[in-house]
Amino acid sequence: MSWQLPFVSLLLVWVFYAFIRARFTADVVVMIAVAVLLLTGILTANDVTSVFSNNAPITIAALFIISAALERTGCIAWLGEKMEKIAGQGPSGVMLPIMLAALLISPFMNNTPVVIILIPVAISLANNRGVNPSKVLIPLSYATILGGMCTMVGTSTNILVDGVARNAGLAPFSMFELTVPALIIAAAGLLFMTVFGPRLLPDRVSLAQQMASGNGRRYMAEIFIPENSILTGKSLSEARLANGNSIAQVIKLIRNEQEILAPAKNYILQTGDRLFIHTDRADILSLHHSHAYGTGDATFEMLDQQNAVTMEVLVGKGSRYVARPMRDLDITARYNIHVIAVHRHDANVNTGLDDFCLEFGDVLLIEGSQEQIQRFVDNGDLIALDSVKTDKRLYHKAPIALATIVGVMVLAAFGVMPIEGLAIMGAVLVIATGCLEIEGAYKSIEWPILMLIFGMLAISTAMNKVGLPELVATNVVGIGRDLPPWAILSLILLITSIMTEVFSNNAVAVLLTPVAISIAQQLGLDPRPFVVAVMICASASFATPIGYQTNTLVYNAGNYRFQDFLSLGLPLNLIVWLLASILIPLFWPLVPV
């Protein structure tokens, strides 16, 4: 047993290092760790299979389905439209109704679809009021996170912490046990963002303005010199002048299958040359419609100017296009849509579009008819950042979907049945009543998240077997032996808040919940307030765009920089930490047991 404790500790260090490096996805990392624990005998096969009986992942999967039904029946879009009607002028007037819509919806469903549906609403509303979308999209994400804290089903983190705590012998949390303190924290957060958000958030060019100006996000595009081009025989510098004041950066040129990296400005162009460039949206559109250059696939059936629209779409988390080369997607042939360029935040792209593998958060600049773009978006789990007029939501089924989620929450609150049973029944009901097709139900479940949770639960089992939570708790209690209990509680809040900014919130929740329980037990105190501390701050990821999925979505859609999240998110983190340090002991007293 002596070697197992340091081995598990080192393995955890590697897991978190792998999370940061992001060479593999988080679910793959934890599954590798579980395989290593099985190989070394620290975990048995029974240990691993036992985690599949945990109620939390089953509940989360069922709620994914109910959330998809709420989205499919237009409940979110309807509320977004209502908020649009009451929106005022200026950044605060636009920001507040969008945040209220997110705050009202997110306690009842998964946060990610809430943000996906409200992003186009927020962008449209901001543009109509003359406000740049960069003023409202981060507050949209933050309001969704704050709202998710208010109920047990509002975020997978709450469900997961409750499941780990139950396995440790604690009584289950009730549906609305966190609602009052969480609403106080959420109200303070919304007030802070309404007052200080317009000053702290950037005032960047909106997506609509990017099309007509040279500002905004930079894309990677591939262009070639066709036969009879006026640019044949000219230098790169002359070619740029031929298209106006282009700010394109030529990364690579391919001639006769030979690559030339960063060619000099006096390099002479020839027919058949392929150039890979970084430039802005307006410049790419100018190049795309220029007769001097060619872009993309020759099989693209050019549309007349009245039917063709240019649009930006964001690659969603569960998109079928993720991790596949563009050539395998055959987008032009299947949809008659032209992928003009691709944008990846803060990344250097050194490959052609054909070999480019899409990732969650990439933005595609596409051209095609309104109808074909809608079909492309629907089939690929993409998010249209510009408005698409067609709407296939099942509004007549909305009362059934709403009644289902309300019924699940109310019956769970009265203890009629455990939440996992009610969630499963609710998922079956929305499928049986046609609120969601069976294919849509399977598609709505975020399997990588579930595999991450199962893997982290297995790692948590290994931690408990070798006594790691007790060791950490002993050291924390030893270091803080002269501190009052509320100070140690506040320290747990702070550690959780810092970790969740860098690592997966679900991973942090699974790892720190047993540690928090052990600390409380060694102090001789009720563990419940310490578990609540992990529950609240494991979801409170505001200071980085990578700590929470909704932050990643708005990061690209709003053309933000990393420091934009720090500017507004770090003060918000401090507000949540301070209020939670005060409110938790008031609602869950730090009493001996």
Instruction: Report the C-alpha gap between 145 and 111 in whole angstroms.
Output: 7
Check: CB of residue 318 under 8 Å from CB of residue 446: yes
Name the residue with tokens 């070639």: 224
Q: What is the pLDDT of residues 174-216, one digit of tens each?
A: 999 999 999 999 999 999 999 999 999 987 654 434 544 444 5
Q: What is the pLDDT of residues 308-321, one digit of tens each?
A: 677 778 887 667 78
Tokens at 568, concatenated: 């507004």
Q: What is the mean pLDDT of residues 381-395?
A: 67
Instruction: Report the C-alpha gap between 577 and 493 in whole angstroms.
Output: 6
State the pLDDT at residue 207.
41
State the pLDDT at residue 298.
38
Q: What is the mean pLDDT of residues 102-129?
A: 83
Better-predicted residue by pLDDT, 389 or 178: 178
Tokens at 22, concatenated: 């992001």
State the pLDDT at residue 209.
47
User: What percentage of residues in the chain have a pLDDT greater than 90?
Assistant: 28
3-state class (DSSP) for residue 253: strand
Q: In 248-323, which ranges are continuous DSSP H helix?
A: 281-288
Q: What is the mean pLDDT of residues 215-242?
A: 70
Query: Which of 91-100, 119-128, 317-326, 375-384 has the highest mean predicted lDDT (pLDDT)?
Result: 91-100
Instruction: Report the C-alpha gap between 329 and 8 in whole angstroms.
Output: 41
Phi and psi at residue 468, to the nearest 5°: -65, -45
User: Is residue 246 predicted with pLDDT exceeding 80?
Assistant: no
CATH C-level class of 208-384: alpha beta
Q: Where are the domains of the chain?
A: 59-206+396-444, 208-384
User: Is residue 534 predicted with pLDDT exceeding 50?
Assistant: yes
Helix 528-537 with 505-523: angle, nearest 10 deg: 160
Tokens at 4, concatenated: 């197992």
Q: What is the pLDDT of residues 554-585, one digit of tens each?
A: 887 777 888 899 999 999 999 999 999 999 99
State the pLDDT at residue 392.
66
State the pLDDT at residue 204.
65
Read off the pLDDT band of 365 (50, 70, 90): confident
User: What percentage of residues in the chain have a pLDDT greater than 70?
Assistant: 86
User: Is residue 88 predicted with pLDDT exceeding 50?
Assistant: yes
3-state class (DSSP) for residue 340: strand
Better-predicted residue by pLDDT, 435 or 390: 435
pTM given for the model: 0.76
**Beta carbons within 8 Å of 148's beta carbon, 6+ residues apart:** 106, 107, 111, 154, 155, 157, 158, 539
User: Is residue 398 predicted with pLDDT exceeding 60?
Assistant: yes
User: Is residue 592 predicted with pLDDT exceeding 70?
Assistant: yes
State the pLDDT at residue 214.
44
Q: What is the 3-state secondary structure (H, E, C) of 377-446?
A: HHHHCEEECCCCCCCCCCHHHHHHHHHHHHHHHHHHHCCCCCHHHHHHHHHHHHHHCCCCCHHHHHHHCC
Instruction: Report the C-alpha gap between 298 and 163 in whole angstroms.
Output: 55
State the pLDDT at residue 304.
45
Q: Which of 476, 593, 583 is nearest to 526 (CA)?
A: 593
Q: What is the mean pLDDT of residues 321-344?
A: 77
Phi and psi at residue 54, to the nearest 5°: -65, 135
Following DSSP, what letter does each residue of 537-582 receive, concatenated?
HTT---S-SSSSHHHHHHHHHTT--HHHHHHHHHHHHHHHHHHHHH
Q: What is the mean pLDDT of residues 35-39?
A: 94
- Distance between start and end Cα atoms, the chain: 31
Residue 392, judged by CB atoms within 10 A of its CB (0-12, 13-18, 19+), counts as exposed
Q: What is the mean pLDDT of residues 452-480?
A: 86
Please, what is the average pLDDT of the chain?
82
Tokens at 292, concatenated: 């001097």
Instruction: Report the C-alpha gap between 276 and 294 in whole angstroms.
Output: 12
User: Is residue 297 predicted with pLDDT exceeding 50?
Assistant: no
Query: Which of 90-104, 340-354, 379-393 has the highest mean predicted lDDT (pLDDT)?
Result: 90-104
State the pLDDT at residue 289.
59
